[in-house]
Structure 1
Amino acid sequence: MPRDSEDRSFRYPLKWRIMDGLNAALDLLWPRRLGRYTGWALLTPALLLVGILVLGLFQIAENSLHTLDTSTFLPGEEYTLANYLIVAESPTYWRIIWRSLLGAGLTVFFTLLLALPYSYMMVRTNKAALRKTLLIVLFLPFFIGQVVRAYGILIVMGSSGAVNDALGLVGIEPIRLLFNFPAVVFGLVQYMLPFAVLMLAPALTAIPRETETAASSLGANWLKVFRHVILPMAKPGLVGAALVVGTLSLTDFAMPAMLGGGSQDFIANAIYDQFFRTADQGLGSALALLLVALGSVIAGVVIAFFGAGTLGMRGRK
């Protein structure tokens, strides 16, 4: 067939025409001479969100310098550090701070302890069906939500729940499993586990299988391979997962509120009480800034000693 007939039989696809129209509109809205500013334009939405957050922190800082006027239940006009002195001199707030730090630390420890073997099995298995099953099980909790998962724990671990029913089968009387500190830590570990697995999986995938094979061929058993090869090489993932899990646990509200029964509050619960129950915005703002400062110091110390892990951005060499 002649070439002219082939050209006449070709039809310009509709989606190509649409793309050409979009490109023409984009050239009108953002000419090529502005191309060097494209990166900043793409960053604008994120910068706006960060700016709103910074403005909010400044507002919280300003509110923290005003005490509550009990006659009008409005913030006083004078600037004072009385709210910070209340927090510093209150044994109750010190107990809450210590409980929050301990809970976050235990959550990081147990979460990494469970997430590491799960991640390793997920990235190292040769069975596609098993890998897909582990991925599905990993992502299912994200479709449920934290509050619903906490209610599920309340049902399963209640006095007449499945756990106590199973203990009753072996002659053990019902145990009070809820509304205590271990229940809060258990709920946090269950909630944070998928985040830790997602942070660890890329770090473990980057470890060559040949390295483990070489260590085994030199006489190292699986425990030595795990200790001297996998753990050191997975350090970026462990540090990144610890930072994410630690900060999320330290600032968590739902699990302490629902599984703690009001007796195991974290700092976020104390902030909520001051803002929405006692209407003391100044004291709540002081606690909020304390939480921000505490989390920032912990993250800074971890990054200074161990690096940012997988959260760090590598520069050009």
Structure 2
Amino acid sequence: MSRTALLLALPAALILLLFVAVLGSFASVSFMVLEPGTAVFHGPASLANYTKLLASEGAWKAVLNTLRLAAEISALCVLAGYPLALLLARSGSRGLRRFILFCLVATFLSGGVTRAYAWLIILGNKGLVNQAAQAIGLPRMALINNEFAVVVSVLNFILPFFVLTLFGALRTIAQPLEHAARNLGASRMRCFLHVTLPLSLPGLAAATSLCFALSLGAFLFPQMLGGGRVQVLATAIYERIQASYDIPAAAALAMLFFVLVLLMLLAVGALRRAASARFAPEAA
């Protein structure tokens, strides 16, 4: 490798080294023991924190809730985002494409806290939805401090990532293949099921894995819109630090979280490679 290439790679290598150093720090702290009644932790190294976590019903509940919610949100992303990405990639109207892209990109201009408070205003007990419901004679609905609010807010946050990722994959599919299928007598649905969908599976797997990873690490929306009633791994780590100052236990839970995310991404990556080899060998 040339000296120029090494210099260009140096910033990325330094950032990666920083991430590894932080992860190593968390790993080392997770083996320490908290001094009872204080926020001081010390050695020697012990597996006590991991033993407690593996035996903790609350920790396993947080793990299962995190996986279930991430799977639900990812499935909703596919159902809502695939038609939008297909419309964006195949629409003949330049104005419509620009409008959709503008709406997607505009969501990145507002921060997560802003969007969380916006959803509180929309879904709150005296929010826009409940005011509209009461105006037509419907009873007030509990739309916040539950899983519904968490799913809606997280879906709103990650859907643009899904659509833009899948849009790039759909744009690489040669449209003459679809035209050939239509000319041979295939209906629009048959063309989609036998041509477009199989060729888009690698991109769909990539977009879904991105959404699944973002859903696994969601903290702000479960914390603000879940009202403490929706326990996920990120909020469980936060509570261990803020409530009991048990940093070693929080570090151990963070390491288990990291291993869980890594295993899930490896599994999704294997599925993506299998889809590439099966349906788009030229892209593998």
Q: Is 2:194 aligned against 1:228?
A: yes
TM-score normalised by the chain length of structure 2: 0.93
Equivalent-residue separation in structure 2 for 1:115 and 1:300 (angstroms): 23
Runs ≥4 residues deviating over 3 A: 314-317
Cross-structure match for 1:93: 59
| RMSD of aligned alpha carbons | 2.1
Q: Is 2:129 aligned against 1:163?
A: yes
DSSP-derived class of the 2:44 partner = coil
**Residue 76 to residue 154, structure 1, CA distance change in 2 (3 Å):** same
Mapping of residues 17-166 of structure 1, within 5 Å:
36-166=2-132
Amino acid at match of 1:105: A
Amino acid at match of 1:270: A
TM-superposition CA deviations, 1:258-281 (whole Å, max 9, x none): 110011021111112222332111
Amino acid at match of 1:217: N
**Residue 271 to residue 199, structure 1, CA distance change in 2 (3 Å):** same
Gaps of 5+ in 2: none
**Residue 257 to residue 78, structure 1, CA distance change in 2 (3 Å):** same
Cross-structure match for 1:189: 155
Equivalent-residue separation in structure 2 for 1:220 and 1:168 (angstroms): 49
Q: Is the 8 A contact 1:100 1:266 kept in 2?
A: yes
TM-superposition CA deviations, 1:272-298 (whole Å, max 9, x none): 222233211100100110111000000
Equivalent-residue separation in structure 1 for 2:87 and 2:256 (angstroms): 40
Amino acid at match of 1:119: A
Q: Is 2:250 aligned against 1:291?
A: no
Mapping of residues 265-284 of structure 1, within 5 Å:
265-284=231-250
Cross-structure match for 1:179: 145
Cross-structure match for 1:213: 179
TM-superposition CA deviations, 1:206-228 (whole Å, max 9, x none): 11222222222222222222222
Amino acid at match of 1:104: A
Stretch moving more, 292-301 or 115-124: 115-124
Deviation at 1:133, TM superposition (A): 0.7
Q: Is the 8 A contact 1:66 1:282 kept in 2?
A: yes
Cross-structure match for 2:227: 261
Cross-structure match for 1:27: none
Deviation at 1:168, TM superposition (A): 2.8
Cross-structure match for 1:17: none
Relative CO higher for 1 or 2, CA cutoff 8 Å, sep ≥ 6?
2
Q: Is the 8 A contact 2:206 2:272 kept in 1?
A: no
**Residue 228 to residue 168, structure 1, CA distance change in 2 (3 Å):** farther
Which of the two has higher C-alpha Rg?
A: 1
Equivalent-residue separation in structure 2 for 1:315 and 1:36 (angstroms): 30
Q: Is the 8 A contact 2:144 2:225 kept in 1?
A: yes
**Residue 43 to residue 309, structure 1, CA distance change in 2 (3 Å):** farther
Identity of aligned residues (%): 33
Cross-structure match for 1:200: 166
TM-superposition CA deviations, 1:178-209 (whole Å, max 9, x none): 11112211111111011001110111111122
Deviation at 1:94, TM superposition (A): 0.9
Deviation at 1:142, TM superposition (A): 0.4
